[in-house]
Every structure is written in structure tokens, then in C-alpha cells.
Amino acid sequence: MRVPLSEQSDESLFELVQKGNSDAFSVLYDRYDRRVYAYCLRMTNQVTLAEDTYQDVFVKVYEKRESFSGGNFARWLFTIARTTSLNAIRDRKYTEDITEPKFEPLLNSSGGMKTDWFLKEALEKAVAALPDEFRECLVLRQYSGYSYQEISEMLGISLSLAKVRVFRAVRMLQKTLAPYIEDQHDE
């Protein structure tokens, strides 16, 4: 009996993709499209750039499908997303598109929407202001749901360094957002 594509593992699906099965690629795309876009948005902090980066990621995944030699597909995918995002950040011009929406939805770690727009905007700016290595670890942990072990493997750093970077990123955010949070309690 044949297992439906939707019930197959990522790795099994990607083996089919490598053999030219476009339906398997569609299933993988559907599984990861929101998480990859959220990752790109958090890394680039610019909607237009995130959209372009997100599309580039999936194009690269398909174009480089033969280079996947097994292992964890999600790690391989997010390694491509990481490299593509960092390249996009490096290559972007230092001008901001004035038409870009300032109140882009910002998800909390449980996937729900925050309700305070000012706090949301402050959080978005604070995350964007984090040094790349801290922002990247925080995004992978809080927004993409990866374990510290997976983060350390994806980034090629030690487990303890992955934990330290997430901890420090959270501390930096707490310090930056303290005035906003205090204002919330005063109301």
C-alpha cells in the first residue's frame, strides 16, 4: 500500500523531489512556507526584502536539490534560508522603502497575534537592532521552534553558545523594551 505524500517524512518527500516529483515539492513547500517566510522576515526586518529572500530560498532548494545528501531536511532548508537571508542583509542598500508598512503582524512565540501595536512595533525594531548572531539564534528558537541542539548544528556552533546567544538576545530585548512594558503597567 502506498503512503500518501502528506504522510511521508520530509526526507522521503525530498528523495521524490530529487527524482523529479513536483507534487512532493509542493507538499514540502506547504509544510515550510510560513516558517521560512517568518524566518526571513525576522532576519531581514523588511517586508519586501523578506518576500524576495523567501522566494530565493525555495528556488535555491529546488535548484540545489541534488546537493542534499541525506540527513535532516529542515536543517538543510534553514541553512539555505540563513545564508540567503544574511546575503540579502549584506547586499541591501541602506535606504528604507517609505511605502513599506510599519505595522506588519508580529507573532509571539505561541503563534498568536500581539494586540498592542506600539509594543509590537517596538519589539520589531528591537529584534531588528540585535546583532546578527543573536537575532538569528532568537529567531530560530522563538519563532521557528528549533531546539538548542538543532540551532547549534545548523549554525555550526556549540550547544552552550546557542543557549548563551538566545539568553543574551532575550536580555537585550528586555532591556530595550523595559520602558514600553513599564508604560503598559502604569495604564
Domain boundaries, the chain: 6-95, 106-187
Fold of 6-95: Rna Polymerase Sigma Factor; Chain: A (1.10.1740)
Predicted confidence (pLDDT) per residue in 144-158, tens digit: 788 888 888 888 888
Which pLDDT score is estimated for 183? Answer: 57
**pLDDT(96) > 50:** no
Q: Write down the pTM of the prediction.
A: 0.61
**pLDDT(130) > 70:** yes
Instruction: Tell which residue, 167, 144, 128, 156, has the closest CA to residue 39.
Output: 144
Tell me if 54 sits within 8 A of 19, measured CB to CB.
no
Per cent of the chain over pLDDT 90 is 29
C-alpha cell at 122: 517596538
CA distance 165 to 137: 6
**CATH 1.10.10.10 holds for 106-187:** yes
User: Alpha helix (H) ranges present in the chain?
Assistant: 10-18, 22-44, 47-63, 73-91, 117-129, 132-138, 148-155, 159-186
Q: What are phi and psi of 156, to 5 degrees?
A: 70, 40
CA distance 168 to 166: 6
